[in-house]
Amino acid sequence: MLPEFNKNKTMMRKFIIISAVIFGLLGIVFTILPLGTIAFIPIGITFILSGIAIQKSKNSQRRLPKIVLFISVLTFLVVIGKVIFVKDVIKTDKQFELKKEESKKEDIKDLEGL
């Protein structure tokens, strides 16, 4: 019974690590894309799963979970930096506004001519 338990524990550990890597990649994609703070969700899940994987792993098997944890912390810091330092500013296009006003005036003249 004990070898079967270790096999299940190993399978669970691998599943947790694979899930953490998938959520980590999703967090990196959300960080690159302009999705704002929604990237915190997969990054947080990655952080939790990699912490669980570190706890479930033996000392000699903790390298990959630690790398995933480090990458999740880095992406977390990048998202925080983007939120703090990158400001979304909408500029008005003066040429477009002038063309819009001119087209309104022309439309009114065309309607008056009818």
For residue 66, is it within any domain? yes
Which domain range does residue 50 map to? 2-86
Each residue's pLDDT tens digit, 15-31:
999 999 999 999 999 99
For residue 95, is it within any domain? no
For residue 19, is it within any domain? yes
For residue 107, is it within any domain? no
Each residue's pLDDT tens digit, 36-92:
889 999 999 999 999 999 998 888 888 899 999 999 999 999 999 998 988 877 777
For residue 91, is it within any domain? no
For residue 39, is it within any domain? yes
The pLDDT of residue 6 is: 67
Does this model's pTM top 0.85? My answer is no
User: If pLDDT is split at 50, 70 and 90, which confidence band does 4 have?
Assistant: low
Please give the tally of structural domains in the chain: 1
The pLDDT of residue 73 is: 94
DSSP string, 19-72: HHHHHHHHHHHHHHTT-GGGGHHHHHHHHHHHHHHHHHS-GGG-HHHHHHHHHH
